[in-house]
Chain A
Amino acid sequence: EDQVTQSPEALRLQEGESSSLNCSYTVSGLRGLFWYRQDPGKGPEFLFTLYSAGEEKEKERLKATLTKKESFLHITAPKPEDSATYLCAVQYSLYNQGGKLIFGQGTELSVKP
């Protein structure tokens, strides 16, 4: 069964305390893995696309990596403004100009000053 699991469900960090979020997936024919950030009451904000094992992408304090079975979102020296829910989504099926996503349940990150 195609599945995406994120851990932990919630993570509390002190400002400057680096950590990682995990996204494991069981999908046949991975076409892409995506990370989104979502603030309360707002739409998900696109962060990264990863295609194949070994790939890495960086943006400010965030770095996403991909293996054959999981992806990590590393947060280096986080700040309170990094507090949000981080969603991982996997695309396994493509169709005419679109792609279906399976979302994980998200990790709610809280960074305290």
Chain B
Amino acid sequence: DTEVTQTPKHLVMGMTNKKSLKCEQHMGHRAMYWYKQKAKKPPELMFVYSYEKLSINESVPSRFSPECPNSSLLNLHLHALQPEDSALYLCASSRRVGDTTRSSYEQYFGPGTRLTVT
């Protein structure tokens, strides 16, 4: 089972609103990711959590605030967004594969949240 779930599927918010995106996985993966994807573009990494601690922040504006309450949950809190922040927001988790001589981390993505900022 490689399922990552995300809620809500769609979100419309005004520039003064506060909202949150939620991501959940029960595969025991210890790294979770937030990506942003614009139309016809590949996903862009925003944040990475490893063992519930923030490992990577790709210079994301402070109006995006991630949170990892436990090993299965990942939230993205949104505040004072701009229309250009409208995009598909993807969550992913990863598992290690391979052996001691060669290994990597396979990432599994959720279905995404389509965010529209008006």
Contact = CB atoms under 8 A, between A and B. Distances in A.
A98 B40 CA distance: 26
Interface size class of A (residues with CB under 8 A): 20 to 34
Interface string B74-100: 000000000000001010101011100
B104 to A, nearest CB: 3
A98 B50 contact: yes
A64 to B, nearest CB: 14
A2 B88 CA distance: 25
B82 to A, nearest CB: 22
Interface in A37-66: 41-46, 49, 51-52
A51 B55 CA distance: 25
Contacts, number: 87
B34 interface: no
Given A34-B107, A49-B97, A91-B104, A100 B56 contact: yes
Given A42-B112, A97-B96, A49 B31 contact: no
B42 A87 contact: yes
A99 B45 CA distance: 11
Nearest to A49: B106
Contacts of A99: 94, 104-105, 107
B106 A46 contact: yes
B31 A105 contact: no
A96 B41 CA distance: 27
Contact of B108 (A46, A51, A101, A104): A46
Interface string B6-45: 1000000000000000000000011101000000111101
Contact of A98 (B2, B90, B103, B105): B105
B24 to A, nearest CB: 14
A104 B110 CA distance: 19
